[in-house]
Amino acid sequence: MTGTGMTGTGMTGPELAGLDRAGRSTRRDRPLLRMLALAATLRGRLALAAVAGALATGCGVALLAVSGYLLARASQHPDITALSVAIVAVRGLSVGRGAFRYAERLASHDVAFRVLARARVAIWRRLERLAPAGLPAFRSGDLLARLVSDVDATQDLFIRGVAPPIAAALVGAGAVTVCVALVTPAGLVLAAGLLAGGVAVPAIGLVAARSANRQLAPARGRFAAAVADLRTGAADLQAFGASGQALDRAERANRELGRLGRRSAAASGLGTGLSALVAGLTLWAALVLGVAATGAGVLGRVPLAVLALTAMAAFEAVTLLPAAAVQLSQARASGRRIAEVLDAPDPVAEPADPLPLPAGPVTIALRDARLRYAPDGPLAIDGVSLDLPPGRRVALVGPNGAGKSTLVSVLLRFRELDGGSATLNGVDLAAFAGDDVRTVIGGCPQDPHLFDASIEENLRIADPAVSGEALRTVLRQVGLDDWVDRLPEGLATRVGPDGARVSGGQRQRIALARALLADPAVLILDEPTAHLDAGSRRQVMADVLAVTRGRCTLLITHDLDGLAQVDEIVVLDHGRVAERGTHAGLLAADGLYRRLWLARAGDDAG
């Protein structure tokens, strides 16, 4: 539960509800339209894709209809010149079908990738303002990964979800027009059939898939839980000889999943059968009507052939629609999640006319700071005052959830205070641009991110222009120089996704080095020893205390060893300052700090 202060889960409910009341909900209710709006200026290219698709399918339908005409006319043994147009048309249509399909695919992929770039930039712009405090559950890596895959899914929407329905509508309308002109009732039957095949069948397919999923979901959940148990509890199960017991449960859940899967097969396979049924019955009905008209002498044998073959081929237009329906429904869900991010309110207001930063030494002061996550929630920070003049080192300690990280987010301008003041040389922090404030107050946020790049690139984020000499100096300060020297690729070694290829201690040290390179006037280090084992913790802590000597530093930590060196220790509890003073003074006071100090025995546990 580290740093619940930053997740801000408490705000989702009331604040979003407030948004609804403000009337912005209408936009959120149409996530699909908003996704499509991303392609607003690409309308021309999108139209090109749709028209090319329509022409490709149309050529296919016309090819069969004209071929039917050709045969029926030939059976009347006219002069060859009567057939020459049809012969040329058949050849042209057959080439056209391939060429237009090719054009459609290129055009739709082009649009899709262009939209992807826009979607990414749009979501990035918004995330950039929101992060980290303004986004519901921002810190959950899973949710972020899903958001990113939602953005990526916009490609599929534009490849499979947009052009095929438009093409189907155009071709369907054309085929129906031809048939209505030949035999009106047959044309109407075709219209009904195409609507059923292109709209009703995909919709039924969606509903069937959804209800099958609903049935499967709880069984899936049970199975996943059983598998997770098997995995996380493997040691306990073996020690207690209970592996068989757990396996039996997983197998039971597995069998139930299999049984439900077999049972829902009939529903899931509904789409294919229905599509074939609708196409077949429509052809049959059109044929019956056409044959009746021919029998009555109203329709010639040539138009009859055209009618039947058109009715048969027209269904090619709707074959892609079930897949398009799935795509649209997924895009809706993705769009809703994206819209949630786009519509989240700003956590901090940027000043319209930001003041320039003062030159020279900087003093940060908090006076009676108060902050709550939700308007009617409890105070997460309650009357905290803090002075950070040049050169002063302050340690912020206290149990999890005491408000330490929330305080940091106020200083970094990720959050706004609800009461009291946060000032820089006496001027309200809110008067400066957030980015400017962060050049003065910076450092190492909680859980610093290492990018999937080289060690050097990760360090240069702090200062792209830094000299190689300065890099070496900082690496030596944080005790990384020997390690880097031993790496075959040295500073060019890639750290892997999320720093997966370096150890926890190295990760924290790289982050510390980065913070030192940025060299802000006020250095904030939020739990630089988190997730480390006892040995590394002691070493990293010692390094932190050594390099921050004489530097204005705010150190958030659970490690109390060595805090005798800092100028002031502020003990936070439930958002309030429980105690403050020096290490010796606080130990003598027999308060929360002393209790934390005595309880820290467990720190040696790995």
Partner 1 sequence: MNRRLFADAGPARRHLAGTVLAGLAVTVLILAQAGLLARALATAAPGVGAGALRWTLIALGLVVLARAAAAHAGEVSAMRAAAIVKERLRSRLLRHAIRLGPAGDCGQQAGEITALTTSGLDALDPYFARYLPQVVLAGAVPIAVIAAVSSADWISGGIIAITVPLIPLFGALVGMHTKAQTERNWQLLARLSGHFLDVVQGLTTLKVFGRATAQQRVIETVTDEYRAGVLATLRVAFLSALVLELSAALATALVAVEVGLRLLYGQLSYPTALFVLLLTPEAYLPLRNAAAQFHASADGTAAARRAHELLDLPLPAGTTGPDRDGATQVDLPVPDLAVPDLRTTPIVLDAVTAGYPGRPAPVLDRAGVTIFPGDQITLLGRNGAGKSTLLALLLRFAAPTGGTIRVGQVDLAALPLEAWRRQIGWLPQRPALFAWSVAENIALGAPDATRAAIERAAELAGAAGFIADLPDGYDTVLDERALRLSSGQRQKIALARLFLRDAPLLLLDEPVAHLDPASAAEFRAAIGTLRAGRTVIEVAHRPAGWSWPDRAGEQSGPDLVDPAGPSGGRVLLVADGAIAELGGEPGPGYATGPVAGGPALIRLGTAGRPVGRGGPGRG
Q: Mapping DSSP to helix (H, G, I), strand (E, B) and coil, where does residue 519 land?
A: coil
Piece of 17-25, 92-100, 164-172, 366-374 that binds partner 1 (CB under 8 A): 92-100
CA angle 27, 33, 39 (to 5 degrees): 120
Q: Does 59 bind partner 1 (CB under 8 A)?
A: yes
Cβ distance to partner 1 smaller for residue 426 or 488: 488
E strands present in 122-278 = none
The residues in 391-420 that bind partner 1, with binding defined as CB under 8 A, are 412, 414
Site mask, partner 1, residues 294-333, x = CB under 8 A?
xxxx---x--xx--xx--x---------------------
Q: How far is CA 323 from the centre of its chain?
A: 23
What residues numbered 416-475 form the site for partner 1, per CB under 8 A? 435, 438-439, 442-445, 448-452, 461-462
User: Is 41 exposed, middle or buried (CB count within 10 Å of its CB: 0-12, 13-18, 19+)?
Assistant: exposed
Q: Which CA distances in Å does 341 have to 142, 154, 377?
A: 15, 15, 22
- Nearer to partner 1 by C-beta: 106 or 487? 106
CB of 599 to partner 1, least distance (A): 5
Judged by CB under 8 A, the stretch of 101-109, 172-180, 332-340, 385-393 that binds partner 1 is 101-109
Instruction: Please state the closest distance from residue 585 (CB atom) to partner 1, in A.
Output: 19
Verify binding: residue 493, partner 1, rule CB under 8 A.
Answer: no
Structural tokens at position 363: 């003093």
Shortest distance, position 602 Cβ to partner 1, whole Å: 5
Is residue 206 within the footprint of partner 1 (CB under 8 A)? no
CB of 101 or CB of 576, closer to partner 1: 101
Residue 375 sits in the site that holds partner 1 (CB under 8 A): no
Question: For residues 464 and 543, what is the distance between their CA atoms, to the nearest angstrom?
Answer: 24
- d(Cα 539, Cα 429) in Å, to the nearest integer? 35
| Residue 366 host element (H or E) | strand 364-372
Q: Give the torsion through C-alpha atoms of 127, 161, 54, 206, to 10 deg.
A: -160
Piece in contact with partner 1 (CB under 8 A), picked from 12-20, 33-41, 287-295, 419-427: 287-295
∠ CA 179-182-188, nearest 5°, is 45
Site string for partner 1, 242-281 (x = CB under 8 A): xxxxxx-xxx--xx-xx--xx-xxx-xxx-xxxxxx--xx
Q: Of 17, 45, 121, 140, nearest to 338 (Cα)?
A: 121
Task: Output the smallest distance, CB 133 to partner 1, in A.
Answer: 9
Please return the burial class of 402, using the count of CB atoms within 10 Å of its CB with bins 0-12, 13-18 and 19+.
buried
Order of strands across the sheet that contains 393-397 = 441-444, 522-526, 553-556, 393-397, 568-573, 576-581
**For residue 279, is it left (φ>0), alpha (ψ between -120 and 50) or beta?**
alpha
Least spacing, CB of residue 29 vs partner 1, in Å: 26
90 binds partner 1 (CB under 8 A): yes
Query: First and final CA of the chain: distance in angstroms?
Result: 19
Of the residues 218, 375, 389, 497, which one makes contact with partner 1 according to CB under 8 A: 497
Between 62 and 568, name the residue whose CB sits nearer to partner 1.
Answer: 62
Q: Which is nearer to partner 1, 156 or 379 (CB)?
A: 156
Chain positions 226 to 245 lying near partner 1, rule: CB under 8 A, are 226-245
The DSSP code sequence of 242-281 is -HHHHHHHHHHHHHHHHHHHHHHHHHHTHHHHHHHHHHHH
* Residue list 579-598, contact with partner 1 (CB under 8 A): 595, 597-598
Within 128-167, the residues that bind partner 1 by CB under 8 A are 128, 131-132, 141, 144-145, 147-149, 151-152
- Fill in the per-residue mask, 510 to 529: x = in contact with partner 1 (CB under 8 A), - = not in contact: ----x---x-----------
